[in-house]
Amino acid sequence: MVLPYHLRNLARVGEEVALNVPEPVTIAATLDALEARFPMLRGTIRDHGTRKRRPFIRFFACEEDLSLEPADTVL
pLDDT digits (tens, 9 = 90+) for 25-70: 999 999 999 999 999 999 999 998 999 999 888 999 889 999 999 9
> How many domains, in total, are found in the chain?
1
Q: Is residue 61 part of a domain?
A: yes
Q: Is residue 70 part of a domain?
A: no
pTM: 0.85
Q: Is residue 28 part of a domain?
A: yes
d(CA 11, CA 6): 9
The single-letter code of the amino acid at 67 is S
Tell whether omega for the bond before 24 is within 30 degrees of 0, i.e. cis: yes
Q: Is residue 54 part of a domain?
A: yes
Does residue 1 have a pLDDT over 90? no
**What distances in angstroms separate CA 3 from CA 10, 49, 67, one per listed residue?**
10, 22, 14
d(CA 11, CA 65): 23
Q: Is residue 38 part of a domain?
A: yes
Q: What is the CA radius of gyration of the chain?
A: 12
